[in-house]
Amino acid sequence: MNIAKNMLFKKEIIEPSDELVKETFWQDVFKSLRKDRMAMAGGTIIALFILVAIFAPYLAPYNPYEVSLDLQFQKPSMEYWLGTDMFGRDVLSRIIYGSRISLLIGIVPSLITMLIGIIFGIIAGYFGRKTDFIIMTVSDMVLSFPSLLLAMVVMYTLGASLLNIFIALSIVGWAGTARVVRAQTLSLKNKEFVESARAIGVKPSIIMIRHILPNCIPQLLVLFTLEIPGSILSEASLSFLGVGAQPPASSWGLMVSNGKEFLFNAPWVAISPGIAILVIVLAFNFLGDGLRDALDPYLKQ
Amino acid sequence: MNKNRKSIFSFVLIPIILATTVLSGCGNSASSDKMITTSEISDPGTTDVQKTTSEYTIPLNIYDRLVEAITVSPGKSELVPGLAESWEVSPDGLKYTFHIRKDVKFHNGEILKADDVLYTFDRMLDPATKALNTDFLDMIAGAKDRMDGKANSVSGIKVIDDNTIEITLAKAFAPFLANLATPAGSIYNRKATTEAGEQFGIDPQKTIGTGPFKMKSWALNDTVVLVSNPDYFQGAPKIDGVNIKIVPDAETNRIMFETGKLDIFNLSNSASQIPQFRDNEKWKNSIVSGPIVGLYYYALNEDIKPLDDVRIRKALQMSIDRQTLLDKLYYGEGQLVHGISPPGLLGYNPELPKIEYNPEKAKQLLTEAGYPNGFDMEIVQTTDSPNTLKINEAVQAMLQKVGVRVKITQIDESTYFATRQVGKLPSNQNEWSADYNDPDNFFYTFFSQKNSKVRSYNYNNLEVNAKLEKARTMVDQTERIKLYQEMEKTIAQEDAAWIPLFALNQLFVVQPRVKNFQVAWNGWSSMSYYGLEIVEAK
Amino acid sequence: MGHYIIRRLVISIPVTFGIALITFILLNVIPGDPVALMMKDHISADVVARVRAQMQLDDPAYIRFFRFIWNALHGDFGVSYKLNRSVSSLLMDAFPNTLILAISGALVSWIIGIPAGVLSAVKKRSFLDNSIMGFSLLGVSIPVFWAGLLFQYIFAFWLGILPVSGFDGPEYLIMPAIVLGWSSAGTISRLTRSSLLEVMRNDYIRTARAKGNLELKVVINHALKNAMLPVVTVMALQVAGLLSGAVITETVFGIPGIGRIAVNAIQNRDMPLLQGAVMFTTVLVILGNLVADVLYSLLDPRIKYD
């Protein structure tokens, strides 16, 4: 996860101009995105899943948490479109409700990751010297710590719960973002428009927010889009290792790893959430790739 | 640049060539003729029974004990002479004299002597060993002093001559013989074990016993190979040896079995596969099952309100539909338990009144106790125990119906045991199976004053405590059993100190070529493979 | 160059030390107890107390930490609580298995990723591009354990052509390598694609095209050589990444490698073993990064490190 992130922007030498006018920027990006069928497909799917998550109570045919052992392992039928699991719970309803958890697991840690990464990255890049050395050494530690193991250790330490998954994935993820932002800041720091702002006595915090951050947005957008599927998959891995989301909240990752033992007798229990993960992760990947293509001129300008 | 490119190409090409040779060399090598292949979920780490309290498969095959518990029929056991050909017990139950067999050789060729027995037991109690299994021997006179470092030997163990050893207990302990028949009573060789030092139980060549198999090799997290011991005192095994594969994933295990890579498949790791094999024409006659002399239960922590109220505890007992749990989660493979002793255990009482499933009455009891709207209850379990989670989720739904709102908390295993040890662990589902066939192994383990705290029951019935201590030392077996049955009624039903669930069956699926496979008397998956035979159908 | 390498190595010392410290703190803030864990249900307070004392577990945390560091500096990583063996020998035994798995996984990812990247760059936004990128991204999008399980069902159970689990010969490597490699093929193909697209914008490619050379030929003869530059450097990173990323693959396919050791160590609160495993993989990742940087500067004369 981290390595992929580092590689994405490994050799960019960025020279942005302050004429980067917002409207044309977004228009350009959108125009270019529209031509990319895969990215559009990805975007549409994501939008659909978000709608499903929001309207879950209206869409789900059954209560996803209602246990009735008598209805154990019903085959997919008109009544239960995707069958029922070992507790007689409707798989479709669980997937619909699970979309809430899984999207949260994708989005929340990615947001936190972005936030921490931006703060540390800009500070390290802008102030340099000791501050930079300390922040980068810590981020080196995180990056060289095998990410799944680190997340697992954190989960074991804090205990398995949804909140702790957010924490674990954020701890694992921020360092990569920090690196990207720092590199960007370094290249911007000595640009004319930053230097002139500094010369007229603008506070560092304002410079960072007004002048540097906006120029990082293209990368951050791509990073964010690609971070989300990474988080969803990491949670699935953690579920497999027994420290994922916990019932009654049920993520798709947990449904797959719980359902895998029924692959012979009730394959529907594990296959449909597996497909849900696959589809959403692919969608985010396509969108992220499309975004990167679309933002390419801005990334490389 | 050029040079670099070359090295890159060789870096890419050589492995491709390698890969193709690999593919062409691929074939199904049938497992060798007379070897049995079994699997375990995790690597045992050591085969020194003094340093483990659970990894007994290999020890049961490479060591012997003075007395052995053999399986007479499923769920029935008998104590028979092992390395001791006979023994006498003094009338007060304090002094045991064992007569050691003269014809037993260790794997290194040494002849078994009484001194080896003395050495083994002393090693367990020697603090330098850092043994974990001392509970099985700490009733011997002088054991405490030895463990505390106050003595250099155990006063209660005396070698009379090469073939006679005398063990004196501090207090009479009725299940002592049964106790010695557990894996923890395995006998080592003084010379080999001393020489091996820390490598004993780890280095296959240095791990010496008298058992029917010898350790040959050990690739950690991969395979342990045992080979037959041709000089075994009861005759060489009929198989050449046992490969024990370490296969962590239950589904992987199943595929390995179905593709013939495993001879024995333990279904207890994946109960969900029971119907698949039971209903399968190919395998249904290959299932070997036997009752586990043990039970699943809920421990209730009486220090946590409102569990201190017996009406609440009784209400909980009545709110759980145990038959449905057994049928739906374990496919009916077992039977309900209403007290403490599971079927098969010495002193099991089939006449014990049943605990009924009656949510109406439960609600009534809750109302009487002042909780007409139920209460919040925490059930704790260790992370990464999917099977426990299943029961907890089902029970959560059942208790919901009487208004008890259960929160399932998952904590890491080491925190779990550390919290439990100080008596602070909330209610939890757990299971226990017999180490030795005696009610003491259940009653005392859970409800003695000391253990009731260590296991977070905090059940304090002084009368029961006194009876438990007394029952341990009673010599008259009939009286003793009667006392246990009386206590069972008090603890499990009148005081409702825990919620017994059920005793399960242990199921294995066994390849048709393996003959004489029998589930161990206590239903453990750790067992001796000595009696197995291989008959190739041709 | 030599100066640069030395500086990087020096920086890696506090990083490794810090990682040891983080691991230690994380595993010490909770009231867990490795001895209680070893005894599990047969727990007895007296025995726990006695064995803890013998294992020096009752010493204050900082003393235990510095004892660990002191011994580690002398090459002694201690003895695993659960496996009773020296940590260094456990890691050295497991390392080759993980290394073989990581390298073959990386190979698979190149075999899938590089051609996929090339084709999709040449046919940008065509149906071919989409389906090829789709295929290589599919590997990234499936939970690894799920892919592993499906592979086992298909190739070991239904078709019966490959062994399910274990590490007894080269044929045991095929499925895990494919699962592991496929999961990182997407990264390689993305990188190949984007760096190829960039190179193809250059004048000399346009010239070659203008001469009427076939597209694929142009790519292979002119563009690929330059475009592979970032890809090659990433390979070193990737091998290091796979070394630590093989945890799940090792568990599903029963491969006795470092990842499984580390997972078991976490589960058993096996402090010395986890410390050792984490520090070991950390050093590997740091070395991998260094190799990547050095490779990069060797291959691209424009980049100079001081």
- Residue ranges of domains in chain B: 3-243, 294-504
Q: Which of A171, A193, A166, A182 is nearest to A220 (CA)?
A: A182
B397 has a chain C CB within 8 A of its CB: no
pLDDT, tens digit, 9 for 90 and up, residues C105-131: 989 998 888 888 888 877 776 787 778
- Reported pTM: 0.85
Nearest to B59 by CA among B237, B231, B181, B239: B181
How confident is residue C214, by pLDDT bands cut at 50, 70 and 90? low
A258, closest residue in chain B (CA to CA): B386
Q: Residue A127: what pLDDT?
A: 86
Mutate: best of C44, C145, C266, C268, partner B, most B CBs <10 A: C44
What sign does the CA torsion over B134, B139, B140, B144 have? positive
Confidence band of C41 (pLDDT split at 50, 70, 90): confident
The string of pLDDT tens digits covering residues C25-35 is 887 776 667 88
Q: Which residues of B touch C34 (CB under 8 A)?
A: 414
What integer pLDDT is reported at residue B155 of this predicted model? Answer: 94
Residue of B10, B130, B136 to mutate for C, most C C-beta atoms under 10 A:
B130
Instruction: Examine residue A241 and state whether it is found in any structural domain, yes or no.
Output: yes
B203 at C interface, C-beta within 8 A: no
C183 confidence band (pLDDT: 50, 70, 90): confident
Which of C146, C226, C278 is most worth mutating to test chain A (most A CB atoms within 10 A of its CB)? C146
Whether the predicted pLDDT of C210 surpasses 90? no
Query: What is the per-residue pLDDT for B39?
Result: 93
Determine the length of chain B.
538
CB B113 within 8 A of CB B100: yes
**Averaged over B466-470, what is the pLDDT?**
93
Predicted local distance difference test score (pLDDT) of residue A298: 64
**How confident is the model over C151-180, as a mean pLDDT?**
88
B26–C256 C-beta distance less than 8 A: no
Q: Of C32, C39, C298, which is closest to B132 when you measure between CB atoms?
A: C39
Residues of B in contact with A242 (CB under 8 A): 383-386
Query: CB neighbours (10 Å) of residue B330?
Result: 22
In a domain, A253, yes or no: yes
Could you give the number of structural domains in chain A? 1
Q: Is there a domain that residue A215 lies in?
A: yes
Mean pLDDT lowest among B108-112, C27-31, C125-129, C169-173 = C27-31
Say if B170 is an interface residue toward chain A (CB within 8 Å): no
Q: Residue B504: exposed, middle, or buried by beta-carbon count in 10 A (0-12, 13-18, 19+)?
A: buried
Q: Which of A3, A156, A256 sits opposite C143 (nearest CB)?
A: A256
The CATH number given to whatever domain includes residue A285 is: 1.10.3720.10
Do A67 and B394 count as a contact with CB atoms less than 8 A apart? yes
Q: Which of C44, C110, C165 sits opposite B135 (nearest CB)?
A: C44
B311-326 pLDDT, tens digit each? 999 999 999 999 999 9
Contact B397, A70 (CB under 8 A): no
B9 touches chain C (CB under 8 A): no
Q: Considering the domain B3-243, what is its CATH architecture?
A: 3-Layer(aba) Sandwich (3.40)
Q: What is the rounded average pLDDT of the residues C21-48?
A: 79
**Between the CA atoms of B91, B96, B97 and B102, what dihedral angle is there, to the nearest 10 degrees?**
140
Per CB-CB distance under 8 Å, the chain B contacts of A160 are 383, 410
Given an 8 Å threshold on Cβ–Cβ distance, is A242 in contact with B384? yes
The shortest C-alpha distance from A274 to chain C (Å) reads 8
Contact B394 A87 (CB under 8 A): yes
Domain positions in chain C: 33-74, 87-299
Mean pLDDT for each consecutive 10-residue tract of chain A (301 residues)?
Answer: 43 44 70 82 94 93 87 89 90 93 93 93 87 88 85 85 90 88 84 81 82 83 89 90 78 88 85 92 90 72 43
Tokens of C35: 């001895």
pLDDT given for residue C230 in this prediction: 73
At residue A281, the pLDDT reads: 93
Whether residue A213 is contained in a domain is answered as yes
pLDDT at B6 over 50: no
pLDDT > 70? residue B195: yes
| Residue range A28-59, pLDDT digits in tens | 778 878 887 888 999 999 999 999 999 999 99
Range of the domain at A112: 97-301
Mean pLDDT of chain B: 89
Chain A residues within an 8 Å CB radius of B396 = 67
- Going by the DSSP 8-state scheme, the letter that residue B228 receives in this structure is E
- pLDDT value, residue C1: 66
Interface A:B, Cβ pairs < 8 A? 60
B147 vs C: CB within 8 A = yes
- Using a CB–CB cutoff of 8 Å, tell me whether B88 touches chain A: no
Is B272 within 8 Å of A86 when comparing Cβ atoms?
A: yes
Examine the pLDDT at C218 and tell me if it is beyond 50.
Answer: yes
Q: Inspect the interface and report whether the beta carbons of A265 and B272 lie closer than 8 Å.
A: yes
Separation between Cα atoms, residue C132 and residue C128, nearest integer Å:
6
Closest by Cβ to A237, choosing from C29, C248, C278: C248
Show residues of chain A in contact with B384, CB under 8 Å.
241-243
pLDDT at residue B7 is higher than 70? no
Residue B218 host element (H or E): strand B213-219
Give the list of residues 6+ apart from residue A64 with CB closer than 8 angstroms, or none.
A89, A90, A93, A94, A96, A97, A98, A250
Q: What angle is formed at CA A213 by the lines to CA A208 and CA A215, rounded to 5 degrees?
A: 125
Enumerate the β-bridge partners of residue B199: none
Q: Which of B41, B254, B272, B415 to mutate to test the interface with A (most CBs of A within 10 A)?
A: B272
Alpha-carbon gap: A229 to the closest alpha carbon of chain B (Å): 24
According to CATH, the topology of domain B294-504 is Dipeptide-binding Protein; domain 3 (3.10.105)
* C99 reaches B (C-beta below 8 A): no
**For A2, nearest residue in chain C (alpha carbons):** C241
Q: What pLDDT score does B9 carry?
A: 38
Q: Which residue of A has its CA nearest to C187?
A: A4
| pLDDT of amino acid B32 | 52
Contact across the interface for C143 and A4, Cβ inside 8 Å: no
Q: Which residue has the higher pLDDT, C260 or A15?
A: C260
Nearest residue on chain C to A11, alpha-carbon basis: C230
Rounded to an integer, the average pLDDT of C12-37 is 80
Contact C192/B at CB under 8 A: no
> CA B17 to CA C46: how far, in whole Å?
60
Task: Compute φ and ψ for A175, nearest 5 degrees.
Answer: -60, -40
Look at phi and psi of residue B384 and say left if phi exceeds 0, alpha if psi is from -120 to 50, else beta: left
Residues 235-294 in C contacting B (C-alpha not used; CB under 8 Å):
251-254, 256, 260-261, 264, 267-269
CB B71 within 8 A of CB B521: yes
A155: nearest CA in chain B?
B412
Q: What are phi and psi of B505, to 5 degrees?
A: -95, 150
* CB contacts, 8 Å: C29 with chain A: 157
A100: left (phi over 0), alpha (psi -120 to 50) or beta: alpha
Top CATH class, C87-299: mainly alpha
> What are the residues of chain A with a beta carbon less than 8 Å away from any beta carbon of chain B?
66-69, 72, 86-87, 155-157, 159-161, 241-243, 246-247, 258, 260-265
* Confidence (pLDDT) at A297: 65
Q: What is the mean pLDDT of residues B130-157?
A: 93
**pLDDT class of C50 with cuts at 50, 70, 90:** confident
Euclidean distance between CA atoms C146 and A236, whole angstroms: 9
**What's the pLDDT tens digit per position in B272-297?**
888 889 988 999 899 999 999 999 99
DSSP state of A15: -
Q: State mean pLDDT over B103-117.
A: 95
Q: Over pLDDT 90: what percentage of chain B?
A: 73
| Cβ atoms A184, A219 nearer than 8 A | yes
